[in-house]
């Protein structure tokens, strides 16, 4: 006669079946049809994105069974485990990270109370564990049906973004719509990656703009990837597709420490620290009015293939990015003579200042390549606040306590020379190339001011001016007076730059500084 199964064994089977069912439901998001619709737009689902981003098999989900408690407007019939957010932790390139992704298949990825709780939870864990946090954004904004609770959710996330700033790296990837209040969480993070043709960000959409201001604009022009990468400066990277966006995050993390108490990981050393590229000696033209590509200098000085430019389409008169010197991660700040002669304008000032502050917050040494003809003149620049914006660079470099190295490749004129991490605002070591011109202003302008009356009295004013300019250049437009005063640590041949920077970084590896005690400074924002 068959024996009955113990009641407890049958109970376990019921429990297991229920758990498996909930897990399967959670993984399906909004269901097969909505997943197909997502794929039809050329987009991955939230879980597919996480799988593509993380090391295989490393992702551990948390709060996957949370559901909304709201019932108005038919929400009682729209109950999904996870409620439109997939959150958890795992590894990228073997290093720990926290991640969350909006699931567009569930109510268009709308952001409600549960979403806010889950994102806040993963951000709290990231701060406690000291690991980067990555947000994959693809949602229709606040969940209107939840009213004030959706606003509360956003507010709590914004607060966490602010708390985490300067504590752990925060990266936002925009992989679909991101509108209204939803844009402020990415805006508070350190880096934003957008995908061309798929992602967009804006406070108010085309329809609202048309109603209020009568301007007609399409979504891509208003807030597409290139609009924010080239015009607004909101996005740091604009890439071709989702896989490239996720790979960009993986590459970026290689240059960053896990938190503000660590140093960035060393890379495998594959380039000779004593390598001297003789072509550097002829890259800068002898004619001060002729342009050259500063990126050629950066790539030849740094470890081969290591330069990762950031914001390459915005304020192209300036250059920022990460690179390596003898395997060590460094932040690169430079001027680009090919655009506006490298003059500093409002956008370039903002771009460089913010990057310097990020590097300082996360213990990344800063290497500056300076070719400063001046601040960009013009009524528009003055009226839009070049004084205030330019002051941000002074503040950022002066405040930074990480190792700061500077190479003056050619022009170093006036205030624009000072702000680009000169010895006067306490750069640790400044090198100048033999052709560097360090002066209050260029020879032409200086002669026009200093010798105006004398030139006017000459029988041949043109020849007199030409001779005086040559004399001024000979006397002042060189690096040796600055070197003689100790404002330049050494005048070096261009091909010596790489080993000299590497040696200086090694010296400053354990640099210690002490700033005046204060709650925080008041940067001219």
pTM given for the model: 0.93
Q: What are 182-232's pLDDT values in tens digits? A: 999 999 999 999 999 999 999 988 999 999 999 999 999 999 999 999 999
Could you confirm whether 415 is annotated as catalytic? Answer: yes
Locus of tokens 């070591």: 429
Whether pLDDT at 4 is above 80: no
Q: Where in the chain is the domain with CATH 3.90.226.10?
A: 41-253, 278-442+477-507
Whether the CB-CB separation of 438 and 408 falls below 8 Å is answered with yes
- Exposure string (b/e) for 188-212, b if CB count within 10 Å is 16 or more? bbbbbbbbbebbbbbeebbeebeee
pLDDT digits (tens, 9 = 90+) for 137-196: 998 787 767 778 888 999 999 999 999 999 999 999 999 999 888 999 999 999 999 999
Distance CA 172, CA 193 (A): 6
For the ranges 45-54, 117-126, 362-371, 465-474, the lowest mean pLDDT is seen at 465-474
Residue 340 has pLDDT above 50, yes or no: yes
Q: Please tell me the CATH superfamily of domain 41-253, with its number.
A: 2-enoyl-CoA Hydratase; Chain A, domain 1 (3.90.226.10)
Residues 6+ away with beta carbon under 8 Å from 345: 315, 317, 375, 376, 381, 386
Cα(459)–Cα(85) distance, integer angstroms: 80
Most confident of 8-12, 97-101, 106-110, 180-184: 97-101
Average pLDDT of the residues in 72-95 = 81
pLDDT at 9: 55
The answer on pLDDT for 11 being more than 90 is no
Query: Mean pLDDT across the stretch 4-28?
Result: 68
Q: Is position 416 annotated as part of the catalytic site? A: yes
pLDDT at 377: 94
Query: Of the listed 64, 166, 414, 415, which one is catalytic?
Result: 415
| Distance (Å, whole) CA 30 – CA 138 | 14
Q: How confident is the model at residue 5 (pLDDT cuts 50, 70, 90)?
A: low
Question: What pLDDT digit, counting tens, does each position of 243-257 carry?
Answer: 999 999 999 999 999
> What mean pLDDT is reported for the chain?
91
- Catalytic entry in 416, 436, 443, 482: 416
Nearest Cα to 37, choosing from 108, 85, 119?
Answer: 108
* Residue 84 falls in the annotated catalytic set: no
According to the 3-state scheme, what is the secondary structure of 141-199?
A: CECHHHCHHHHHHHHHHHHHHHHHCCCCCEEEEECCEEEHHHHHHHHHCCEEEEECCCC
* 378: pLDDT strictly greater than 80: yes
34 versus 209: the higher-pLDDT residue is 209
- Position 67 scores a pLDDT of 75
Residue 231 carries which DSSP code? Answer: I
Q: Name every residue whose Cβ is closer than 8 Å to that of residue 460 and which is 6 or more positions away in sequence.
A: none
**pLDDT band for position 1 (cuts 50, 70, 90):** very low
pLDDT greater at residue 84 or residue 44: 44
| Between residues 8 and 442, the one the model is more confident about | 442
The larger pLDDT score, comparing residue 276 to residue 32, is at: 276
> Radius of gyration over alpha carbons of the chain, in Å?
28
Q: Which of 166, 181, 205, 327 is catalytic?
A: 181
Does the structural domain 278-442+477-507 have CATH classification 3.20.20.370? no
| Helix 294-301 / helix 497-507 crossing angle, nearest 10 deg | 60
Percent of the chain with pLDDT strictly greater than 90: 72
- Active-site residue, 10 included: no
Per-residue pLDDT at 416 exceeds 90:
yes
Catalytic residue among 109, 135, 180, 390: 180
């Amino acid at each position: 006669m068959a024996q009955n199964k113990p009641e407890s064994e049958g109970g376990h089977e019921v429990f297991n079946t229920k758990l498996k069912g909930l897990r399967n439901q959670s993984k399906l998001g909004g269901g097969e049809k909505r997943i197909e619709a997502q794929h039809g737009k050329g987009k991955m689902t939230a879980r597919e994105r996480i799988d593509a981003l993380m090391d295989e098999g490393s992702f551990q989900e948390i709060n996957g069974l949370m559901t909304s408690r709201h019932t108005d407007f038919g929400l009682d019939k729209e109950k999904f485990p996870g409620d439109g957010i997939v959150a958890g932790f795992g590894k990228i390139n073997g290093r720990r990270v926290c991640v969350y992704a909006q699931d567009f298949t569930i109510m268009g990825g709308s952001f409600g109370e549960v979403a806010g709780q889950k994102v806040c939870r993963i951000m709290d864990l990231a701060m406690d564990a000291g690991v980067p946090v990555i947000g994959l954004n693809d949602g229709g904004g606040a969940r209107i049906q939840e009213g004030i609770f959706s606003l509360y959710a956003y507010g709590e996330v914004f607060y966490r973004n602010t708390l985490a700033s300067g504590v752990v790296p925060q990266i936002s990837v925009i992989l679909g719509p991101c509108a209204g209040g939803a844009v402020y969480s990415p805006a508070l993070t350190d880096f934003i990656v957008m995908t061309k043709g798929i992602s967009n960000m804006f406070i108010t959409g085309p329809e609202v703009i048309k109603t209020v201001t009568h301007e007609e604009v399409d979504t891509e022009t208003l807030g597409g990837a290139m609009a924010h990468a080239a015009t607004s400066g909101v996005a740091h990277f604009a890439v071709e597709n989702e896989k490239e966006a996720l790979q960009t995050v993986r590459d970026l993390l290689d240059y960053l420490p896990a938190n503000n108490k660590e140093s960035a990981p060393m890379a495998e050393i594959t380039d000779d620290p004593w390598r001297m590229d003789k072509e550097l000696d002829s890259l800068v033209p002898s004619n001060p009015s002729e342009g050259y590509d500063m990126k050629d200098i950066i790539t030849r000085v740094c470890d081969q293939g290591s330069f990762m430019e950031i914001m390459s389409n915005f304020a192209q008169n300036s250059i920022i990015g990460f690179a390596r010197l003898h395997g060590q991660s460094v932040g690169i700040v430079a001027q680009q003579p090919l655009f506006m002669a490298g003059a500093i304008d409002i956008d370039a000032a903002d771009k460089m200042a913010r990057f310097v502050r990020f590097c300082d917050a996360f213990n990344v040494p800063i290497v500056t390549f300076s070719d400063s003809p001046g601040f960009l003149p013009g009524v528009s620049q003055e009226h839009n606040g070049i004084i205030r914006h330019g002051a941000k660079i002074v503040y950022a470099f002066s405040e930074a306590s990480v190792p700061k190295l500077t190479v003056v490749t050619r022009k170093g004129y006036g205030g624009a020379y000072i702000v680009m991490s000169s010895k006067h605002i306490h750069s640790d070591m400044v090198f100048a190339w033999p052709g560097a011109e360090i002066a209050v202003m260029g020879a032409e302008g200086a002669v026009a001011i200093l010798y105006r009356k004398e030139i006017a009295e000459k029988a041949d004013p043109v020849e007199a001016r030409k001779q005086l300019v040559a004399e001024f250049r000979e006397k002042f437009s060189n690096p040796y007076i600055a070197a003689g005063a100790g404002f330049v640590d050494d005048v070096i041949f261009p091909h010596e730059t790489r080993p000299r920077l590497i040696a200086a970084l090694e010296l400053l590896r354990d640099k210690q500084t002490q700033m005046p005690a204060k709650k925080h400074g008041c940067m001219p924002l």
